[in-house]
Structure 1
């Protein structure tokens, strides 16, 4: 099985996994043949990639850390819950408002417990590949991804269940304040003015001010929103905290936040490949990020998981067959096309082997 970008799907290909709509209902079942008229319809449903089964990917096992149905449920919960909390913060507190906020928080907690159960059941490195881009709003997709990364990192820290659940909730809500920022400013291409950047930086305190007023939310969860842009060298914002002045939850979430941000395209910045994202974390280790969390993060995510199609710097195309725990950016590959983009009889190479040290992944179009 392999993951293919929707614009590279050929009529006659067969689905390796079912495709869902944004309500969690199945659009196409596993094994369905992708015919001409179906492919444009999938694009209208924001399906950006699909898993297919074919001869060249035979035997490659793809293990989802988070089932697609759960991702959809979680994104819908985040979308609706954010709006509920913002609406309530703009009105006077009353009994009805308290009941609505309580339901929203319980919704976040329930979906995070389901995410935690999925990650706990899965003994493999975290694989976040998904086929459906469920929501166009970057903040909602980002909030879900950060909560999943932060949950996995919290598990790697060996923290008690109560702390993991608080970190998960804090990660889901860390960017709540961005809902107060005009969307055209968040999506502005090019450089921000000093005034615009100052306004965006206010999202930390805006989120904190909303969350600290909600009775059901522990104060450390609200501090995740306030502190996730602090740096251990004291050069972060909004308060310039450093080292142990920063809550451990925020140190965990900041690593997950930056990795997801740089590896996903935004209006003002192109995405980088996952191994480049790790390099950014290591470059900031000891200044921006807690080195312990950076090292733990590297070991718990599969940045190039099985089933992903990649291109090497010598022009060859392959499919990841095995994740390499010793060298995150250098998995085992099944080569399917040569340097001239011609189909070849598939063969295996290991990017972690000494003889392949000059090779590097330069494209994974299903990620970018």
Structure 2
């Protein structure tokens, strides 16, 4: 299978991985043949890429960081937890809702187990979802990335659970932001931006009352928009004033947001998002965490269809952990766009004059 941009050229292609809705439920299942009407509707729903079957890439196995079952369960749990919190707020009931902490902790243990069992090396996020489900899928992806970094740092069970639970709920304050602002397609006005920034404080206030959610997990919601140089919000904290959990989640939050399609812009490619993180250096993020992140996240996910500087089209076959920007690729077309009858693999660590320049169909 391979990952390709959504376009009418995919008509008659067969879906290789499902498309999920905002609740983590399957909207379009694997094995479905794509029609023009279906592709148009998926584009309207904000889906920009799809995993499709391709005989030339049948042997490529795309391994998500967590299983499909774990991902769907996690998204559904985050969705229901946030909905429950909204209902609590609207009902003016300030009592603790202990089941939220328990349910989030339970589903996080499934994520953790999958990550520990994943021997594929670099973390690869391989879910496809509609843009209206961004908040819930984003929360799960940030938790996956943050937990992977926590494991790489050698965190123990208590620490890893605190960061994972906090990451799953880091954006819960967004449930209090009006939908017309949260999903606005254009730039925020100054007033809208000030309101949007309040989600960090609101999230902290909501979580610190919850049994089963530690105060450190609640502080992740509070601090995930703080930046190393003090340019973040809500308190303009600097350096060591920011808890390490929040530094990790804040960096993963930025990366995942950049690589996701939003109402107001298209998704950035993984390597473009990583370049932004690296460019932030010590100004925005902790440099040691940036380096750790770069070593553990797949810059070019397996299955991604790419264009080379030679104008040839290829698909990423496998990753080189030591050189993540130079994976093994399979050439599908020549420099004139002609389909190759016999695709072949090239290791970009050995072909130094060749490089990936863009995501391609």
- Report the Cα distance in structure 2 between the residues aligned to 1:135 and 1:274, rounded to whole angstroms: 18
For residues 1-368 of structure 1, the aligned pairs below 5 Å read 1-5=1-5, 7=7, 8-11=9-12, 13=13, 16=16, 24=25, 28=29, 32=31, 34=33, 43=42, 50-93=50-93, 97-98=95-96, 101-124=97-120, 125-130=122-127, 132-133=128-129, 136-344=132-340, 345-353=342-350, 355-357=352-354, 359-364=355-360
Gaps of 5+ in 1: none
State the number of aligned residues: 356
Give distance in 1, aligned partners of 2:28 and 2:245: 38
Query: 1:107–1:42: structure 2 CA closer, same or farther, 3 Å change rule?
Result: farther
Output the CA distance in 2 between the equivalents of 1:18 and 1:59: 19
Contact 2:331–2:344 (Cα < 8 Å) also in 1: yes
Quote how far apart the aligned CAs of 1:88 are.
1.7
SS of structure 1 residue aligned to 2:195 = helix
Rounded Cα–Cα distance in structure 1 between residues aligned with 2:35 and 2:266: 31
SS at the partner of 1:328? coil
Q: Could you tell me how far apart the structure 2 residues matched to 1:179 and 1:24 are?
A: 20
Task: Report the alpha carbon displacement of residue 213 of structure 1 after superposing the two structures with TM.
Answer: 1.6
Partners of 1:57 and 1:255 in 2: CA distance: 33
Kept in 2: contact 1:275–1:328 (CA 8 A) = no
Q: Distance in 2 between matches of 1:196 and 1:25?
A: 33
State how far apart, in whole Å, the 1-side matches of 2:34 and 2:129 are: 21
- Matches of 1:19 and 1:195, distance apart in 2: 35
Once the two structures are superposed, residues 237-290 of structure 1 have per-residue CA deviations (whole angstroms, 9 ceiling, x without a partner) of: 111111111111101101100101111122333322111111111111211101
C-alpha deviation, 1:215, in angstroms? 2.8
Which sections of structure 2, spanning at least 5 residues, go unmatched? none
Flag the 1:191–1:134 CA change in 2: closer, same or farther, 3 A: closer
1:93-121 Cα shifts (integer Å, max 9, x gaps): 47xx54xx222221111111111111100
Evaluate the alpha carbon distance shift between residue 199 and residue 37 of structure 1 in structure 2; reply closer, same or farther with a 3 A threshold.
closer
Offset, 1:69: 2.4
The answer to whether the 8 Å contact 2:20/2:129 transfers is no
Q: What SS class does the counterpart of residue 191 from structure 1 fall into?
A: coil
Distance in 1, matches of 2:323 and 2:216, equals 35
The offset of 1:315, in angstroms, is: 2.7
So what's the TM-score if we normalise by structure 1? 0.87
Q: CA deviation at 1:305?
A: 2.4
Compared CA separation, residues 134 and 105, structure 1 to 2 (3 A):
farther
**Following TM superposition, by how much is the alpha carbon of 1:164 offset from its aligned partner in structure 2, in angstroms?**
0.7
Alpha-carbon distance in structure 2 between the residues aligned to 1:57 and 1:309: 11
C-alpha displacement of 1:307: 1.9
Rounded Cα–Cα distance in structure 1 between residues aligned with 2:266 and 2:329: 26
> Equivalents in 2 of 1:65, 1:364: separation in Å?
23
In angstroms, what is the RMSD of aligned CA positions? 2.8
Q: 1:18 to 1:146 in 2, by over 3 A?
A: closer
The separation in 1 between residues aligned to 2:297 and 2:345, in whole angstroms, is 23
Give the Cα–Cα distance (whole angstroms) in 2 for the partners of residues 155 and 42 of structure 1.
39
Structure 1 residue 214, shift from structure 2 partner: 1.7
Partner Cα distance (1:27, 1:185) in 2? 29
Structure 2-normalised TM-score? 0.88
Deviations 1:22-67 (A, max 9, x none): 66569656xx473759956994996765544443114322222212
Quick one: distance in 2 between partners of 1:37 and 1:279? 35
Q: Do the aligned residues in 2 keep the contact of 1:135 with 1:141 (CA within 8 Å)? A: no
Tell me how far apart the structure 1 counterparts of residues 208 and 16 of structure 2 sit (CA, whole Å): 45
* Deviation at residue 92 of structure 1 after TM alignment: 4.5
Aligned counterparts of 1:184 and 1:239: Cα–Cα separation in 2: 26
